[in-house]
A and B are shown apart, each in its own frame.
Chain A
Amino acid sequence: MQPILTMENITKRFPGVIANDGVNFDLQAGEIHALVGENGAGKSTLMNVLFGLYQPEEGKIAYKGEELIINEPTQAIKLGIGMVHQHFKLVQPLTVTENIILGSEPTLGIKINKEKALKDVDELSKKYGLIIDPKAKIENITVGMQQRVEILKTLYRGADIIILDEPTAVLTPQEVKELFAILKGLTDQGKSIIFITHKLNEVMEIADRATVMRRGKTIGTVSTKETSPTQLAEMMVGRQVLLRVEKQEAKLGKEVLKVEGVSGNDDRNLQVVDNVSLSIRAGEILGIAGVEGNGQSELIEILTGLRKPTSGDIYLNDKKITGLTAREIKNSHVGYIPEDRHKRGLILDFSISENAILGIHQRKPFAKGMQLNLSEIKKHADNLIEKYDIRTPNREVHARNLSGGNQQKIIIARELEIDPVLIIASQPTRGVDIGAIEFIHKQIIEARDEGKAVLLVSAELQEILSLSDRIAVIYEGEIVDIIDAKEATEEKLGLLMAGVRN
């Protein structure tokens, strides 16, 4: 069968980087085609070429049997190519309908024909089974609903090919299921879908074929019926990868962290942490599962001294630490891997050496009184680089110039080396490639086996399930339930994450 789209031998260079190096990609009508690869593999560049944002130096694009050059996104849209970005591009205070018609409004004289707009949107949503409330404001609907609006937007503009960039990153497991059903429905009606992801189990579940990219090149295209996650991972990374985390039975020690009835507010002073109580023992990993934005971030900031609780108490090894400053808490041996390494965990324009002492810079041996002990700092940095396999030309390189995985390794190295009794790890593998994920998971398990208490917050259910000994589910700032990891399944957690109690 003739493919609807072929991209042949696409090469796109940036100064110093070949982002796409002779990439081949083809899409059949009515298929879901996964585009997988690690960060920096060139997936987004390829899609930006297709969408007309970049012009390739070499290569041909043929669409519906016709060879053409796509100069700009508006042309791509006219051709019937639609893109749903990872971060939605919606106007929050406008309604669903207004967002969908934005840019191609049906008019009545100089006025917008609101009735026609409503009717069109309603018909479209019924036709493709994308159920939405056309009059609701974007700011009042869930993320899953917002994603439907984005998909409807592309359909409204007559898309035959829909590109979805990491669409499941922001969804609950139930929402993912609904999304997949919608995607199947779309392909049944002849639409073709390009699905960018790095989650291999999703590839296996939803895609017909998968094209794997690595370092700007296509490694191959495989049918999902004839492949396995292990094989895909190997293609992505270029070597064998351990997908399952191996760990032994937890050897529990005494209680290290006790949180009692802690509540707190967000930056807008709205209560987002609601009477949270939990406890972690030495040698145990407690995972906090939850859809992002349910108070996890604020809870962690309260525990690490970056945010003041409005009520409740926190004990570390039976000592009250409520209301202590971030420095005092770090000094009581709490290692903290923050969720946003660019904003919190690292100073991007500091060298690796300087970043390796952030938070412990005023301590011996790094400081003597007011003076920094530069030779000790350098020694420390070299030590971390070696021990944690941080890939860098030298310790003077600015953190900005390292890959996400290596940046994260600096933070993990720094926080594990302070000899913590408690490690708080928030999204420790976000935006990190598979090789580094494997390494980071191993480090966390090792820390637990050494008898440290670990609090793990992650939006990745797989990560929570494979690392945790117990799992607490948070919903709208409340801990809905705490269950043993052995009894946890994705379905069970998914229901809890949506706030459904037993």
Chain B
Amino acid sequence: MKRQKLYDNLRELMIPLGAITLGLLVGAVIILMTGANPIEAYKALFIGAFGDVNKFANTLARSTPLIFTGLAVAFAFRCGLFNIGVEGQMFVGALAAAYVGANFEGLPKIIHLPMAILAAMIAGGFWAAIPGILKAKRGVHEVINTIMMNFIAYAFIGYMVSDVLRAPGQTPRTVGVLPSAQLVRLGELVGWSTSRLSIGFLIGLLVCGIIYYLLWKTTIGYEVRSVGLSPMAAEYGGVNSSQKIILAMIISGALGGLAGAERVLGFDRALILGFSPGFGFEGIAVALLGKNHPLGIIFGALLFGALSNGGAWMNFTTNVPVDLIVVLQAVIIFFVAADQIIRRIFSKNKKEWGAV
């Protein structure tokens, strides 16, 4: 039975690996068409991502928010919800972390730091709870509402950062986070590193473990997954679906808030208005790539982090444009998604044979 499970898991793993390989192949063709050497380009990509300890640390740092946003998307998805609003939940989480982190001077770190993190989680959770409640009680589709909540978050944070909480200077940013609320950076631990990789990465791994436990080892996870797979059977099993929908959205939003907290307290040490290149949306891709499983999400986040940092280096050292990275990401996602299309056709056929 164990061997069977191992075999199943390996087969599951083949799909993303195959998609990555196919993506790189398609990318190679495109690089060839631009007249560059794909081997050179991929070498630069690899060196840029993993070339030395600092580059590797920076890749981990770039992956960290994606672990949180990927988990956020995946958790909601396990309950059958498509949370497009992780970006917005991350923004309000970042704002809460920045506010708490910059105030309450004199608190010891052991209280101040958790307080800032908790504030981010509560803010993100609250932001996601609104579309969650609307979905559970009124049947309003969460995709629409989470997108709308994103726009509200952008505008609100834009106003707060460039006006109310703005620190003096050229770029719109908040006042720096007090040392008592900062996540320790690798660069501060060892003299030779300049990386802004913080222990937020380790927190990310820990949270993956917690989410795994929650989903598969608790009654809450059991009920959340049952609502996600079959709402009618969940109802039959006495599960209060609307309660679970709201809960899943709150947890998802809290995870989004955590992504913001890590950026503000660890990476940037302040809320800089343009801090996110779309971590929340990349999280959707990461969750898809990681098959909505915490372990898969870690690898998906690392892949996206590596592509992003390696791509910058590739752009810098060869004449391959950085836009290729977006193409690569898109092709990989396409093949992962296409696999599901193929599988769906396959399983539909099987159903027909079942009725033979």
Contact = CB atoms under 8 A, between A and B. Distances in A.
B222 A343 contact: no
Interface string B33-53: 000000000000000000000
A42 B353 CA distance: 8
B222 A372 contact: yes
A42 B349 CA distance: 14
Contacts of B230: 343, 346-349
B237 A358 contact: yes
Contact of B229 (A44, A306, A348, A372): A348
Nearest to B349: A14
A343 B221 CA distance: 20
A396 B5 contact: yes
Given A348-B230, A367-B219, A372-B219, A306 B236 contact: yes
SS class of chain B's interface: helix, strand, loop or mixed?
helix
Interface stretch (A59-67, A322-330, A485-493): A322-330
B232 interface: yes
A370 B349 contact: no
Interface in A321-370: 325-328, 330, 336, 338, 343-350, 354, 358-359, 361-362, 367, 370
Contacts of A374: 217
A44 B354 CA distance: 10
Given A326-B235, A370-B218, A370-B219, A40 B229 contact: no
Contact of B236 (A41, A344, A394): A344
B158 to A, nearest CB: 40
Contacts of B218: 370-372
A326 B236 contact: yes
Determine the interface band of chain B, counting residues with CB < 8 A from chain A. Answer: 20 to 34
A361 B221 CA distance: 11
B78 to A, nearest CB: 11
A23 B223 CA distance: 46
Interface in B208-248: 217-223, 225-226, 229-230, 232-239
A394 B1 contact: yes
Nearest to B221: A372
Nearest to B354: A40
A343 B232 contact: yes
Given A45-B356, A371-B218, A372-B219, A350 B229 contact: yes
A350 B226 contact: yes
B237 A370 contact: no
Given A42-B356, A45-B356, A372-B217, A327 B238 contact: yes
Contacts of A90: none
B164 interface: no
Interface in A215-267: none
Contacts of A43: 356
Contacts of B217: 371-372, 374
A367 B349 CA distance: 37
B345 to A, nearest CB: 12
Given A327-B238, A359-B237, A344 B222 contact: no
A328 B219 CA distance: 17
Contacts of B219: 361-362, 367, 370-372
Contact of A40 (B5, B225, B239, B356): B356
Nearest to A343: B232
A270 interface: no
A330 to B, nearest CB: 6
B355 interface: yes
Interface residues on A, range: 35 or more
B356 A19 contact: yes
A41 B356 contact: yes
A396 B1 contact: yes
B238 to A, nearest CB: 3
Nearest to A20: B356
Contacts of A346: 230, 233
A328 B225 CA distance: 21
A335 to B, nearest CB: 12
A40 B354 CA distance: 6
B353 A358 contact: no
B234 A347 contact: yes
B229 A358 contact: no
B4 interface: yes
A359 B238 contact: yes
A347 B4 contact: no
A17 interface: yes
Nearest to A328: B238
Interface in A433-461: none
Contacts of B237: 326, 358-359, 361
B236 A338 contact: yes
B173 to A, nearest CB: 41
Interface in B1-45: 1, 4-5
B4 A396 contact: yes
A55 interface: no
B353 A347 contact: no
B37 to A, nearest CB: 41
Contacts of B239: 327
A345 B356 contact: no
A14 B347 CA distance: 12
Contact of B222 (A14, A361, A403): A361
A39 interface: yes
B236 to A, nearest CB: 4
Interface in A305-326: 306, 325-326
B355 to A, nearest CB: 6
Contact of A44 (B226, B238, B356): B356
15 contacts: A40-B356, A42-B356, A328-B238, A330-B238, A338-B236, A344-B235, A345-B233, A350-B226, A358-B237, A359-B236, A359-B238, A371-B218, A394-B1, A403-B354, A404-B354
Interface of A: 14, 17, 19, 39-45, 306, 325-328, 330, 336, 338, 343-350, 354, 358-359, 361-362, 367, 370-372, 374, 393-394, 396, 403-404
* 6 closest cross-chain pairs (CB), A and B: A327-B238, A359-B237, A358-B237, A344-B236, A347-B230, A326-B238
Interface of B: 1, 4-5, 217-223, 225-226, 229-230, 232-239, 349, 353-356
Given A39-B355, A372-B221, A374-B217, 8 more contacts: A14-B353, A338-B236, A345-B233, A345-B236, A347-B234, A349-B229, A367-B219, A372-B222
